[in-house]
């Protein structure tokens, strides 16, 4: 198995993709808006991916947070609020905010499970900082690490109730970034004490099944490399200081924060300590280059992947989609 997550080019698999995926056997796939039309089409696409590999338990993820980060959109699917909505409710009623976040995530997860997805790149545990770039902004659950962790945990629990594996991001924290890492490399120059504040939610949820790195350079830890490519940050900060035990994947390697070819970056990310390399844009040359450059997935990574996918089995749903949305909206109305 190739330790990579690949994107798809369209609404259906091309013949070249089908042949390549069968041969490369990646750890999983990520869908974007270009891959999403309606329920029947997405379900057919995910079933096609399963058929290639002959396994029902296949990692197929998407960026579906709510707010401005949503690949499955109205009118086919419902609109979900951003993290900021639960942060506002938390000011008035913390327990209600936690329950609303849990119900919201379960409803969102039911949408994903219905069409054959098994995972979501959600929740972000980035602590919000005033004056930072808006790339995080209202996606964050707030400026208090304890609150971010509480709402993040509720989101993971809600997704799990729907049979969906969550992924905490962006480790060790994107909330201070003054630039959009999709377009350039952000550099965070604060000291250790300030960074302790940012890693606290990740430390609290260190047992989450999946995590995603940040394409951010933290000069207090590594003046040269962003976290994704930094052996020090991954080993000493993410694995040791935070204590993250789950499967760690890079953020998308095709983002402009990183310099170099995508296959080279994938090899660097794996060498630095990422378990999986994420490549979202379905460029065949990049994907074949990644498959050629990366070693086969080691047994310990395969075991972590299997555990992550199995972590949501046997968890019962607590309501229908309509019931969950009604419960969420009644709670959010308290802060309206």
Q: Give the single-character DSSP code of 233.
A: I
| Residue keyed to tokens 């075991």 | 303
Q: Does the active-site annotation cover 182?
A: yes
Which among 206, 147, 154 is positioned nearest to 318, based on CA atoms? 154
Cα–Cα distance between 63 and 313 in angstroms, integer?
A: 21
Q: Does the active-site annotation cover 251?
A: yes
**What is the C-alpha end-to-end distance of the chain, expressed in Å?**
49
Whole-angstrom CA distances from 113 to 59, 160, 169 are: 12, 10, 21
In the set 251, 252, 275, 286, the catalytic residue is 251
DSSP-assigned letters across all residues of 81-115: --HHHHHHHHHH-HHHHHHHHHHHHHHHHHHHHHT
Whole-angstrom CA distances from 231 to 114, 197, 228, 274, 316 are: 38, 22, 8, 9, 39
In the set 23, 182, 207, 285, the catalytic residue is 182
Which among 188, 151, 5 is positioned nearest to 65, based on CA atoms? 151
- Which tokens hold the place of 145? 């690490």
Handedness of CA 328, 330, 335, 336 (dihedral sign): positive
Catalytic residues: 182, 251
């Amino acid at each position: 198995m190739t330790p990579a997550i690949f994107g798809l080019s369209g609404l259906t698999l091309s013949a070249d993709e089908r042949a390549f995926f069968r041969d490369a056997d990646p750890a999983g796939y990520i869908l974007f808006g270009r891959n999403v039309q309606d329920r029947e089409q997405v379900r057919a696409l995910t079933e096609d991916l399963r058929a290639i590999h002959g396994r029902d338990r296949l990692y197929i993820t998407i960026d579906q947070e709510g707010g401005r980060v949503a690949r499955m959109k109205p009118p086919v699917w419902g609109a979900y609020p951003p993290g900021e909505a639960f942060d506002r409710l938390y000011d008035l009623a913390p327990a209600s905010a936690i329950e609303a976040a849990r119900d919201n995530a379960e409803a969102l997860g039911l949408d994903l499970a219905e069409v054959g997805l098994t995972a979501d790149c959600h929740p972000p545990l980035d602590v919000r900082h005033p004056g930072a770039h808006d790339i995080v902004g209202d996606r964050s659950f707030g400026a208090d690490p304890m609150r971010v962790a509480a709402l993040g945990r509720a989101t993971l629990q809600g997704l799990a109730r729907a049979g969906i594996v969550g992924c905490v991001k962006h480790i060790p924290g994107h909330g201070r970034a003054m630039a959009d890492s999709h377009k350039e490399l952000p550099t965070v120059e604060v000291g250790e004490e300030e960074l302790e504040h940012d890693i606290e939610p990740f430390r609290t949820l260190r047992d989450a099944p999946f995590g995603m790195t940040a394409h951010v350079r933290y000069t207090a830890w590594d003046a040269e490399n962003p976290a994704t490519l930094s052996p020090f940050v991954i080993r000493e900060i993410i694995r040791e200081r935070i204590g993250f035990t789950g499967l760690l994947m890079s953020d998308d390697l095709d983002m402009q924060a990183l310099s170099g070819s995508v296959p080279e970056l994938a090899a660097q990310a794996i060498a630095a300590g990422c378990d999986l390399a994420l490549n979202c844009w379905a460029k065949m040359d990049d994907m074949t280059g990644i498959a050629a450059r990366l070693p086969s997935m080691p047994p310990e990574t395969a075991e972590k992947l299997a555990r992550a996918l199995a972590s949501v089995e046997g968890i019962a749903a607590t309501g229908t989609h309509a019931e969950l949305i009604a419960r969420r909206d009644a709670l959010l109305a308290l802060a309206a």
